[in-house]
Structure 1
Amino acid sequence: MGSRNLVVSYQQQPREEAKQKTFVPAEGRNRRVLQDIGNLVNDRVSLQGKKPTTEVVDIAVARDVRAPAATKAPAAATKAPAAEIKKANEKQRLEDVIVISSDETEKSKPVSRRVSRKGVKTLTSILSARSKAAFGKAEDTVVDIDAADVTNELAVVEYVDDMYEFYKLTEVDSRVHDYLQSQPDINGKMRSILVDWLIEVHRKFELMPETLYLTINIVDRFLAVKMVPRRELQLVGISSMLLACKYEEIWAPEVNDFVCISDNAYIREQVLAMEKAILGKLEWYLTVPTPYVFLVRYIKASIPSDKETESLVFFLSELGLMQYPVVVKYGPSKIAASAVYAARCTMDKSPFWTETLKHHTGYTEDMLRDCAKLLVQCHSAAAESKLKAVYKKFSSDDYGAVALLTPARSLI
């Protein structure tokens, strides 16, 4: 109804402006609200003491609509004394309201009622009451995590739930399955070394977090469809990061920057050729829901949340990205949810898994325990591992030194 009233107001605006110019001085008019247009006839009083000639015309029109065709008053009868006009206006304001209906049979039917807005229940309030009655106390435990962002247009509160429902449906298309069996020259350890190096490059260039997750996704999906010799594995890595930078960054590093960071192991033409090959194999499909897409939402649903918990979630998530078994066994949304669950267990937050997290992730605590255990094992072994890019990154004060925290005992 709101959009319909708005359209009606736009259609009637030129008529209202024409009426102002013809009958009433501009300073003698009062702006009418949308709900009154076409329904109520108000008594307009001229500020300059002039006769309200518009009331003569409006009353005549109103009477013509209410009266049957056979009993319409002649045009000459509209010139009534001012007292009679004022009396008619007061009577109409209290009793007669013309109802505008799309049904042709209802257009000419007058309805007599008093206009009152007190105690009127909107459809939204009725549906909310019914929903609360139907779900009971269980629904009350789910916190509205978007309440503070209602006025933030970038948060797209109206669509965010539908967006993440779509992400959950489409994550299967971009999910990485076991591909090392088709790669005779590459194994899981080589992949971990590449990812560890890419994390260092990512931090060196000070890139966005989205870029790192998309880079690793591009590498895995390309290796799943194209056999790559060992000597070109690093070339696949820098070409994938170049693509991710072009997709996510405002100021992307240049090709020569990646050539230099790889110690001139490849030339510029090789990087561009590999970039073209990757895009061809992936059919330019780069808009994919990575774990980072879900991490942002799930961290927001982890109430209460703080900077330390957020850093710990990203630490566990990046440790998981380095492990080939984690990436091929679990989807992006489950890796993200498991990182949040493992972080809450590490921080000993009670409860470990809330109704709000269950509602927004779609996972129960039992569904996440196996993946969370793998992430905690990675946390336990990070200090002794030879691949220390993630550990050093999250041992710094910039990330609250969360890598130095004791791993969750409940998941070891």
Structure 2
Amino acid sequence: MATRAANVPEQVRGAPLVDGLKIQNKNGAAKNRRALGDIGNLVSVPGVQGGKAQPPINRPITRSFRAQLLANAQLERKPINGDNKVPALGPKRQPLAARNPDAPRAVQKKNLVVKQQTKPAEVIETKKEATRKEAAVSPKNKKVTYSSVLSARSKAACGIVNKPKILDIDESDKDNHLAAVEYVDDMYSFYKEVEKESQPKMYMHIQTEMNEKMRAILIDWLLEVHIKFELNLETLYLTVNLIDRFLSVKAVPKRELQLVGISALLIASKYEEIWPPQVNDLVYVTDNAYSSKQILVMEKTILGNLEWYLTVPTQYVFLVRFIKASMSDPEMENMVHFLAELGMMHYDTLMFCPSMLAASAVYTARCSLNKSPAWTETLQFHTGYTESEIMDCSKLLAFLHSRCGESRLRAVYKKYSKAENGGVAMVSAAKSLLSATDMKKPVSS
């Protein structure tokens, strides 16, 4: 096997060899090549030139680099072979390869034919202007993420691009994957489409042994149980939703009303909580009025009548989004939850869908705390309701707020009178929503 000569340097891939060094072409034929003299267009490459090792030059050919070449050429105006009209292109900080002293004289004496441009030379921008424009145009400076692309497409599909005076309430959560910023608008559009499918109907006309006051007493007691077990708010709203939906399809005797309530709480706890209460615990809070078997049988009855349809957009789902759209503080948030839970106790609020109840709770809370403006374009956009559309529901909530201190059902009032909840129950009701006619309405509880 043939061996490589010891005094022949190793060929660098992609770089021509000089001084008579043999290189091999694609067909395997050896040729003698000699490098031309330096005329200002050669760049040093890793290898041997003139008997000395040349350091590699890392010079990426990019737009900004070409702009730098043009700028340096305009500033320096280096002549080539005595022609002052042709600039020598080359970066100031990265000089071109030096002349090869060993290059043949015949090559250096060769006349260079340079054609002069007949058209007037274009005005070359300065280095700073070119760099600034390239930086502004370069797509590398624009941070484009997968999440931002999905969000832009989703908003474009919904026709919500370039909405004036609407704050981006999801800006702070753009890096939070659990917030689902890319899909949150589509999710709430879907919630509003299907909320009426799970909205309870007015059912008192089919109930022969119960009335509105009995329902209010049941919800007030369930709220105290909810506080005692320290359950999530989602559990409370789902419990009330299950009770009303069940009562709207089946007449219940008076003696089983509490059983329906505690069984609905068990179902909602299993659905929402990590550690739901045990059945024996629920038997205890009912003062042994019902056995474990009765609770489990009623649980099965409720699920059968509701066809196991538990994944529903309750009022709490919309409250979370609308509170975020109102850019509220802790006091405002507590006031919204106070009004929402207060309205949930009263049967008259069933005539309104969950999203309208949530929007009205936000509007009434802003009026009670004298927030200006009471209804913003951001709230109108995210809730889908104008101020006039929620006025009737808001007046009802304001009326219930004005009479909650006099009611005998005080679970909500006591809960939000505590300092940990901001004491918002003791704030005066929104006078702008109360009329003389409303103040004369009788209190049902």
When normalised by structure 1's length, the TM-score is: 0.71
Inter-CA distance 189–52: structure 2 relative to 1 (3 Å threshold): farther
**CA offsets per residue over residues 208-228 of structure 1, 9 Å max, x none?**
010000000000011111111
* Structure 1 position 363 matched with structure 2 position 385: yes
* Structure 1 position 213 matched with structure 2 position 237: yes
* Residue 74 of structure 1, CA deviation: 4.9
Partner Cα separation in structure 1 for residue 299 and residue 381 of structure 2: 40
Inter-CA distance 220–120: structure 2 relative to 1 (3 Å threshold): same
* Residue 80 of structure 1, CA deviation: 9.6
Partner Cα separation in structure 2 for residue 78 and residue 381 of structure 1: 104
**CA offsets per residue over residues 111-164 of structure 1, 9 Å max, x none?**
xxxxx8862568989x99xx9xx999x834111011011111111111111111
Q: RMSD of the alignment, in Å?
A: 3.4
Structure 1 residue runs of 5 or longer lacking an equivalent are 1-48, 57-72, 96-115
| Corresponding residue number in structure 2 for 1:266 | 290
Partner Cα separation in structure 2 for residue 50 and residue 143 of structure 1: 65
| Corresponding residue number in structure 1 for 2:343 | 320
| Corresponding residue number in structure 1 for 2:20 | none
The amino acid across from 1:290 in the alignment is: T
| Corresponding residue number in structure 1 for 2:411 | 389
Inter-CA distance 155–315: structure 2 relative to 1 (3 Å threshold): same
Inter-CA distance 74–189: structure 2 relative to 1 (3 Å threshold): same
* Structure 1 position 171 matched with structure 2 position 195: yes
| Corresponding residue number in structure 2 for 1:411 | 433
Inter-CA distance 209–123: structure 2 relative to 1 (3 Å threshold): closer
* Structure 1 position 332 matched with structure 2 position 350: no
Inter-CA distance 88–384: structure 2 relative to 1 (3 Å threshold): same
**CA offsets per residue over residues 170-209 of structure 1, 9 Å max, x none?**
1011001111111111111111110011111000111001
- Where do 1:143-158 residues align within 5 Å? 143-158=167-182
- Where do 1:10-29 residues align within 5 Å? none
The amino acid across from 2:376 in the alignment is: T
Instruction: Name which of 20, 28, 32 aligns with 1:76.
Output: 28
* Residue 52 of structure 1, CA deviation: 3.8
Q: How many residues align?
A: 321
| Corresponding residue number in structure 1 for 2:398 | 376
- Which has the higher Rg, Structure 1 or Structure 2? 2
* Structure 1 position 188 matched with structure 2 position 206: no
Structure 2 residue runs of 5 or longer lacking an equivalent are 1-8, 16-24, 37-41, 47-56, 63-133, 435-445
The amino acid across from 2:207 in the alignment is: Q
- Where do 1:2-401 residues align within 5 Å? 51-53=11-13, 55=14, 74-76=26-28, 119-120=137-138, 139-303=163-327, 305-327=328-350, 329-401=351-423
The amino acid across from 1:352 in the alignment is: A
Inter-CA distance 389–118: structure 2 relative to 1 (3 Å threshold): closer
Partner Cα separation in structure 2 for residue 209 and residue 243 of structure 1: 14
Inter-CA distance 394–86: structure 2 relative to 1 (3 Å threshold): same
Inter-CA distance 52–290: structure 2 relative to 1 (3 Å threshold): farther
Partner Cα separation in structure 1 for residue 31 and residue 361 of structure 2: 80
| Corresponding residue number in structure 1 for 2:124 | none
Identical-residue share of aligned pairs (%) = 53
| Corresponding residue number in structure 2 for 1:108 | none
Partner Cα separation in structure 2 for residue 269 and residue 135 of structure 1: 53
Inter-CA distance 123–205: structure 2 relative to 1 (3 Å threshold): closer
Partner Cα separation in structure 2 for residue 179 and residue 82 of structure 1: 100
Partner Cα separation in structure 2 for residue 176 and residue 82 of structure 1: 92
3-state SS in 2 of match to 1:141: coil
The amino acid across from 1:403 in the alignment is: A
Inter-CA distance 372–387: structure 2 relative to 1 (3 Å threshold): same
* Residue 235 of structure 1, CA deviation: 0.4
3-state SS in 1 of match to 2:390: helix
Structure 1 segments (4+ residues) deviating >6 Å: 77-90, 121-125
Partner Cα separation in structure 2 for residue 148 and residue 314 of structure 1: 23
3-state SS in 2 of match to 1:288: coil
When normalised by structure 2's length, the TM-score is: 0.66
